[in-house]
Amino acid sequence: MKNLLFVFDIDGTLIDSARSYAHVLVNAFRRMGIEQVDTDFDNYLHHTDSYALRYNYENNFDVPFHESLFEELDRQLGNEIAKHAVAAEVAGARSFINTLRKTKTPFAFATGAFPAPTHYKMKKANIWYSDELLVTSINHITRETMVSEAIEKAKDHFKTSGEKAIISVGDGLWDLQTANNLGIDFIGIGQKNKDVLMDNGCKRWFENITEMRKALS
């Protein structure tokens, strides 16, 4: 795998937390006074917490949105997620990340969630991460800009030389679409969105990270 560079989504890809996190997000919005929340997250224009906040805030209040609200949402998410059980790692995630570190294979994380809940989930699942390799949506509305920054973080951190085949690993249609928009490879993970991924041109899909690792070995 020495000629590869990986960018990992987190919820549903490395941690089985997508369903519980949606509930956390809705509760955090309501703590900010956003009572009417559109919970059809899969059909949002951008699948990021930052977009979800802006979209629902503007639908609830007749006042301009301001980005200082991102910090407030991060605080609320950090408080809220500690009240909910967070599912364990997707099979093989912890081991694969540790192997990439040992072999100095470049990788980074790009998540549509915000920093506080991401830190909590990664620690609870005991999956290694570093802020140097983590890009969240607190500074990004779109997944394209997040993944692009994650690629640059991986290259800088691992001091890569020469061209690397870049693989985005994710569980959602939005992850596949982002990879296509950036012209990079994609691997789908998990049963939840398998059919929609395959129907939209996903060429490589695996049940979990363990199965992906076997195929790449």
pLDDT score at 9: 97
In this structure, which long-range contacts are made by residues 196-201, counting pairs with CB atoms below 8 Å and at least 24 apart in sequence? 197/173, 200/173, 200/176, 201/176
Residue 208: C-alpha distances to residues 17, 91, 102, 152 (Å): 14, 6, 21, 26
The CATH superfamily assigned to 4-17+87-216 is HAD superfamily/HAD-like (3.40.50.1000)
DSSP character at residue 89: B
Contacts of 14 (CB under 8 A, 6+ apart): 8, 89, 90, 93, 97, 109, 125, 127, 209
pLDDT score at 56: 96
Q: Where are the domains of the chain?
A: 4-17+87-216, 19-81
* Residue positions counted in the chain: 217
In this structure, which long-range contacts are made by residues 26-29, counting pairs with CB atoms below 8 Å and at least 24 apart in sequence? 27/80, 28/73, 28/76, 28/77, 28/79, 28/80, 29/53, 29/56, 29/73
pLDDT score at 83: 86
pLDDT score at 24: 92
pLDDT score at 160: 83
Per-residue model confidence as pLDDT tens digits over 139-195: 999 999 999 999 999 999 999 877 779 999 999 999 999 999 999 999 999 999 999
CB 137 within 8 A of CB 99: no
Extended beta strands in the chain, E state: 4-8, 107-110, 134-135, 165-170, 185-189, 205-206
pLDDT score at 123: 94
| Separation CA 40–CA 37 (nearest Å) | 9
Name the stretches of the chain with pLDDT < 50: none
Nearest residue to 197 (alpha-carbon basis) of 169, 168, 178, 171: 171
Q: What is the pTM of this model?
A: 0.93
Q: For residue 153, with 0-12 CB atoms within 10 Å meaning exposed, 13-18 middle and 19 or more buried, which class applies? A: buried
| Separation CA 150–CA 134 (nearest Å) | 7
Strand partners, 110: 135
Share of the chain above pLDDT 70, in %: 98
pLDDT score at 19: 74
